[in-house]
Structure 1
Amino acid sequence: MSKSALTLTNITLKFGGLTAVSDLSFAVEEGSITSVIGPNGAGKTSVFNMVTGFYRPTAGQILLDDENLVGKKPSQITRLGMARTFQNLRLFPNLTVLDNVKSGMHSRTSQAVWGALWRTRAQRQEEQLIEETAMACLQFVGISEYAQRIAKHLPYGAQRYLEIARALATKPRVLLLDEPAAGLNYEEKENLIALIRRIRDVYLLTVVIIEHDMGLIKKISDRVIVLDYGQKIAEGSPQDVLNDPRVVEAYLGKEEVG
């Protein structure tokens, strides 16, 4: 039996009288690429926000391996091995590309303030390791030539890759990508598909994706989970899910999906 890296059990999220997510359960297999899809307002990003500690579920349990994440702060969840990108880019626009990646590593640093003030040997070694790790992440996603460029001056596609590099720098076990293909052209999307597969295979990560691009979903997903009005309406292989009548009606209208 395959091990689950991430397990949601009977998760509910309410905002006053509005139920954003209702009694949602699913498990993400370790080492898989799993996609979460659904129409706008289906609750996809709310799920990511609960998993990463930005929202606290009204009810239910979220496990990273065997660790319960409910009630933990985002920084604590990052240290446990969860990383994410955002639908709307959240870079530090006036910092360099390299410094943006280094900023993602603060949860992994161990030196106290006095070490930074007195420039101890341990502090200098940690700074060197942070720099080397950040550069390695930039090289992995293919934008190391931009390391000293100010982030806001990067091409849009490279900014997407920068967010992924910053997430990788936290040394996650599970990587959540919120609409990573948004705004990318066809060639950039094909490159993104290859990159996500390399991330999974080289870093040995579990990847969970929110995405609207059905072509990308079909090419990259091992498993697809479909939400509608905060509830799971389908789960399975891309081919099975995208041809499920409930999905065609709720998410894709009446258009047939091949």
Structure 2
Amino acid sequence: MSILTVKNLKLQFGGLLAVDDLSFTVEKNSISSIIGPNGAGKTSVFNMITGFYRPTGGEIILDGDSLINKKPSKITSLGMARTFQNLRLFPNLSVLDNVKSGMHCRTKQTVWGALFRTKNQKTEEQLIEEVARECIDFVGIRKYTNRAAKNLPYGEQRYLEIARALATKPKIILLDEPAAGLNFEEKQYLINLIRRIRDEFNITVLMIEHDMALIKQISEHITVIDYGCKIAEGTPHEVLQDEKVIEAYLGKEDAV
């Protein structure tokens, strides 16, 4: 059963057609990836799915709910979380406060509760902190809990962004190049972490990634796009043997 359906998606900037008639599905509790050369339109697809770009045409359905014309905050409340290729943390806030900020979409108390420190407000604040600490522990950065985000090593900043996304209690998490800038050991830890997210939390994972070794090791299904169009999809073995995919990445040899 699919949790995410993208149908005939199109994005046009003036005369530039960035994404053209793109369709794919993501199965529940799967680990799937979107790959393609630089400039293929991968991040534009993520931005449309998460509400940062408004599609020119097409449909995006998350677990039965249309996401078209919905704001990012609403899409998050429906069960979708994401990370970004370029980290978007609050650099001067602690690790704990960064992750607590991810719970904003799940809070119910009003400004009056905060002003008068009601019982319900205190209970909710306690729950937010408990969930945040659980997410921090899960990604393995507990020792940095009270440290400012900007003072974490780069790899741990990547894990922090994942922890904040998990705090939103998502059904599906979109990871935009999560391995960018990581060394070999950090990538192996990331692979294990992504599997645990799926296996222990039953969260579907959709990634954009350029590291083909990582993609082959972890992805169950791959969609390949080039110039905004889907050129192949299937298992890692099927996709990476596809002539269109090889041509997109390596170019076509000119006839002599």
Using the size of structure 1 for normalisation, the TM-score is 0.97
Equivalent residue number for residue 176 of structure 2: 178
Structure 2 gap segments, 5+ residues each: none
Q: In the alignment, what sits opposite 1:164?
A: 162
What per-residue deviation string (whole Å, max 9, x for no partner) do you get for residues 92-142 of structure 1?
000000000001111110000000000000000000000000000000000
More off after superposition, 89-98 vs 242-251: 242-251
Q: Distance in 2 between matches of 1:168 and 1:104?
A: 8
The residue correspondences of 1:135-154 to structure 2 (distance < 5 A) are 135-154=133-152
Amino acid at match of 1:106: H
Partner of 1:101: 99
Q: CA deviation at 1:243?
A: 1.2
Letter in 1 for 2:245: V
Deviations 1:142-164 (A, max 9, x none): 00110000100000000000000
C-alpha distance in 2 between matches for 1:251 and 1:36: 14
In structure 1, what is the equivalent of residue 132 of structure 2?
A: 134
Q: Considering only aligned residues, what root-mean-square deviation do their CA atoms show, in Å? A: 1.0
Mapped to 2, the partners of 1:129 and 1:176 lie a distance apart of 25
Equivalent residues in 2 for 1:25-104, closer than 5 Å: 25-104=23-102
Q: Secondary structure at the match of 2:87?
A: coil
2:8 aligned residue: 10
> 1:212 aligns to what SS in structure 2?
coil
TM-superposed deviation, 1:253: 4.2
One-letter code of the match for 1:34?
Answer: S
The one-letter code of the counterpart of 2:219 is S
Distance 1:235 1:91 in 2: 33
Give the counterpart letter for 2:164 in structure 1: R
Residue 252 (structure 1) shift: 3.8
Question: What's the offset of the Cα at 1:65?
Answer: 1.1
The percent identity for this pair of structures is 71
Displaced runs of 4+ in structure 1, greater than 3 A?
A: 252-255
Partner of 1:195: 193
Distance 2:81 2:174 in 1: 6
Cα distance in 1 for partners of 2:142, 2:71 equals 31
- Residue 81 of structure 2 aligns to a residue whose secondary structure is strand
Query: Which residue of structure 1 aligns with residue 204 of structure 2?
Result: 206
Q: Which runs of 5 or more structure 1 residues have no equivalent in the other structure?
A: none
Is the partner of 2:147 in helix, strand or coil? coil
Paired residue secondary structure (1:6): strand
Structure 1 residue 200, shift from structure 2 partner: 0.3
SS of 1:7's equivalent? strand
For residue 210 of structure 2, give the secondary structure of its aligned residue in structure 1: coil
Residue aligning to 1:121: 119
Indicate the SS of the match to 2:178: coil
For 2:85, the aligned partner's letter is Q
The aligned amino acid for 1:229 is Y
Equivalent-residue separation in structure 1 for 2:250 and 2:129 (angstroms): 45
What is the rounded CA distance, in whole Å, between the counterparts of 1:252 and 1:148 in structure 2?
46
AA aligned to 1:205 is I
Measured against aligned partners, the alpha-carbon deviations of 1:145-191 in whole angstroms (never above 9, x if no partner) come to 10000100000000000000000000000100000000000111011
Q: Which amino acid aligns with 1:122?
A: N
TM norm structure 2: 0.98
Between the aligned partners of 1:23 and 1:138, the Cα distance in structure 2 is 39
